[in-house]
Structure 1
Amino acid sequence: MAEVVRAFDEESTAWARVLAALTPAEFGRPTPCPPWTVAELIAHVTAAIARVPDGLAAPSPPRADLDATGYYHPRIFDATANAERVTAAQRAAAAQPDPAALVAAFDRQCRRTLDVVAHQPPGRLVVTRWGDGMALHEFLLTRVVELVLHGLDLAAALDRPIWSTPTAAALVTGFLGVDTAATRLGWDQPTALAKGSGRAPLTPDEEAELARIPLRPFG
């Protein structure tokens, strides 16, 4: 749990630093997650982070139904759910047309999440937006996945170097299941994240290597 909390803290701090330096025009740029703009992708990630304290506000469920990998199962993220995510982020961004307010909302949700998580007992379970039970550390890991992989999307949209922090990048590389393959292929962390999540093209040799392992889904 401590490693996941540290990864979330470090990665969200890196995000906040990048967002604070954006120009107003950059918030309107398109992203590799169409139809979202930069502002809409920020709103999406902010809402994803808010689900941690929101889930903890409910009574602890009787059991854990999912782990972090199961959370991104296609049966959960179907076409209807994806369409809902798209429009929800668009509405949230439109409701906060001031970029400074959008950034402040992101930072506020991150600090709120860290504060709430710090007061939870060991083994705490949380209810997801779909009504499933998850161990808190597994659910928080999915928020680190959101920050790291959508951080790659933002970096691409903004023409900036990938800023993933080491602890978070290592966790997500492991989550994707490409850590061993990355070592064999000589990938650095940014390359492993981009190629392992389908955000960068693969060479034939890389395709063959990744075909040997069960890649984890990311919605």
Structure 2
Amino acid sequence: MARAFDEECTAWVRATATLTAHQFTLPTPCPPWTVAELIAHVTAAIARVPDGLAAPPPARANLDAAGYYHPRIFDATANAARVSAAQDAAAAHPNTAALVAAFDHQRRRALRAIAGQPPERLLVTRWGDGMTLREFLLTRVVELALHGLDLANALSAPAWTTPAAAAAVTDFLGAGTAATRLGWDRTTTLAKASGRAPLTADEQSELARARIPWHQFG
């Protein structure tokens, strides 16, 4: 999972390094966020890796990656806090280069923090739950890959999802078999299975057969 995290972060740096000031103001499929605010949101998500590892580990893990996306992460209070935090973080940077540099800084912090750590190392999430590093990194890969699709959509650019991240998130969504049956490529699989693209009636039936919930992740 560390490799998928590293490669997807690196892809984000490459994709955002040459954006213009105008592109940072474009709306995204995650309203009310602009491109700049979505980047700030994902930057904060990456920062939680080193921050979580810096704290004393909990006594046990009581949550996996799927459980991390529990209802309170999407409730009205949590969503309002998430939206305003990203807006404030984006506004705090003097220019777009500084915002991209902040993402890269947190990427480097995270990679230093996980270097040499066993996958079963425990950490505490922002919600106070105990998770293994492997499972928490999976949630970060989910954030990077799916919000990467959102960012590419906002920029009218090709998706840059890396093979390792796409495989990890496809497995997380339980969409591999359905994708094979439906002939989806990896970008279509992530977009359809995460609720980022509409489904045909046949696709809905196939996902229902595979017991894949159709809702927004990331």
TM-score, length-scaled by structure 1: 0.96
Output aligned runs, 1:1-219, within 5 Å. 4-215=1-212, 218-219=217-218
Tell me how far apart the structure 2 counterparts of residues 105 and 90 of structure 1 sit (CA, whole Å): 15
Q: Which runs of 5+ in 2 are unaligned?
A: none
Give 1:122 shift: 4.9
State the TM-score, normalized to the length of structure 2.
0.96
- Kept after mapping to 1: 8 A contact 2:119/2:132: no
Identity fraction in percent: 74
Uncovered stretches (5+) of structure 1, i.e. residues with no partner: none
Offset of 1:191 from its aligned partner?
A: 0.5
Q: Deviation of residue 157 (structure 1)?
A: 0.2
Counterpart secondary structure, 1:24: coil
Task: Quote the offset at 1:21 in angstroms.
Answer: 1.2
Change (3 A) 1:212 1:16: same
CA contact (8 A) 2:25 2:34 kept: yes
Once the 2 structures are TM-superposed, how far is the Cα of residue 68 of structure 1 from its aligned partner?
0.3
What do the CA deviations read for 1:176-211 (whole angstroms, capped 9, x no partner)?
Answer: 111110011111100000100111111110011111
CA shift, 1:75, in A, is 3.2
Which SS does the other structure have where 2:167 is aligned?
helix
